Amino acid sequence: MSWWRGAVIYQVYPRSFQDSDGNGIGDLPGLLRRLPYIAELGVDAVWISPFVKSPMEDFGYDVEDYRKVDPLFGSDADFDRLLAEAHRLGLKVVVDMVLSHTSHRHPWFQESRRSHDNPRSDWYVWADAKPDGTPPNNWLSMFGGPAWSWEPRRRQYYLHHFLAAQPDLDVANPAVQDALLEECRFWLERGVDGFRLDACNCFTHDRLLRDNPPRPADMAPTEGVPPGSPYNRQIHRFDKSQPETLTFLRRLRDLVDLYGDAMLVAEIADDDGLRVAEEYAGPQAPLHTAYSFALLGPRLDLDFLRQTLETFHNGQRHGWPAWAFSNHDVERVASRWGGRDAPPELAKALIALLSALRGTIFLYQGEELGLPDADVPFAQIRDPFGLAFFPDFPGRDGCRTPMPWDDSDRHGGFSERDAWLPTPNVHLRRSAGAQQVDPGSVLNYTRALLRWRRDQVALCKGDIRFLDAPDGTAAILRTLGDERVLVAVELAGRPARLPVPGPTAAVLAEPDGRRHPVADGWVDLPPYGRFVARLE
């Protein structure tokens, strides 16, 4: 069965993982140095956020050259060494592919913007102004303001879902598709094991450029967008999630299938991301899996979680989902769902809950340490999202601060100098080194759980059923054939008692030796307690 089904994929944000050359920015040699740490977690793969050449106006999600490692992160040879060592350690490597847009410095855009009749004149989304000179429609950028910028040389507007420095490619254009497929082929030939497709449902747009309708006041914000953004005042019916995207994705899948068991996972952000994820990664759909922002929201809602997972399981939705509680775009889950002073035991409970979900699991760097979101002072904010929406939304820097490897100095073992973002003291106290020697740490619990999970086929690939449990507690039964695994997690911070549906064959002990014994068919959980067992 395909390696990615039930896999745990560890996301690395390379700017903030490990600096090897003392410039305060993480790089590929630094990541290479820390690969044994990742392998020891018990994960199956590593997803590396963008590291190719970029002016870094959106920190790598504005690509200037798809094939060249940015010198900030090292060399092409550094990537080859990293890939080889990851494979030696048994880790698959998934890389980000940003195909919906490029940097404005990309040679394709530099040519396209020059005139109406050059060979790449129609590679980006160009449109004439309205008679009064205003943009062609009401579409908005996720970063605030119109999604259109004026190009005086062409005397036209170009589309950008994000920054003006990130012009949108016209991915419906067959010539653009051919070019993008060649960029993907380059990395497949290098030996990567899959692609995470950034902003996947932004690849194509309504060809008539119709206005988006206004959003009802009682409608929830668009997934992944700050509540105060004007982007939330529209229903995004015409600017993304168009059927032409699937045409290109089928071509991409045909290419990827030539390279064995390589994986395609989509990032989906939409008004109904789960519905779009099904279109992209359901039965007969082109992608292997997709994740949305459904579980990246501001609060933990166990009823919503149960409804969402059971909907996928009972046939109302289809396909193999992917789930994440944290990534580089949202507040860290420990703070988002537990507050700034969330205890380490909650972080363990969330790791247990995530590991029990049916699908492919994404774990963001530092999640295994239970890191809270960092408070980054305004003067040190680097994220263009945060600069645009401060103080209502401080941006994404709080989840992107450097990994704390030890507490020996204020740099946390990340670099020899001040890093591109500050390292808060609370992170130093929860460093990997400090947790390594603490049997009861979040890190050691994560290692024990993920290694145990790897050997439980039902937990990785089986069906899922939510059992009745006290409020604030999730009880999840995973089954495959005769194998059954129960994961029960208390998330409200109060003791809970719940029934165990059968005798236990093996119970996962806490790394510090603690157990939650079963008595007369019941188990008692302390606040944020976990019970993980294989049943007879």
- Residues acting as catalytic residues: 198, 267
Longest dimension (CA), the chain: 79
Output the six-digit token pair for 520. Answer: 């007369």
Q: How far apart are CA 233 and CA 363, in angstroms?
A: 32
Angstrom CA distances, 487 to 50, 174, 284, 350, 484, stand at 35, 48, 32, 12, 10
C-alpha torsion sign, points 45, 46, 52, 58: positive
Q: Which residues of 397-432 are buried (b: 16+ CB within 10 A; e: fewer)?
A: bbbbbbbbbebeeebbbbbeeebbbbbbeebbebbb
Q: How far apart are CA 291 and CA 289, in angstroms?
A: 7
Instruction: Say if CB 4 and CB 288 are below 8 A apart.
Output: yes
DSSP 501: S
Burial of 188 (0-12, 13-18, 19+ CB in 10 A): middle
DSSP 434: H
Instruction: Say if CB 161 and CB 170 are below 8 A apart.
Output: no
Q: How far apart are CA 160 and CA 155, in angstroms?
A: 16
DSSP 146: B
Helix (H) or strand (E) holding 307: helix 302-313
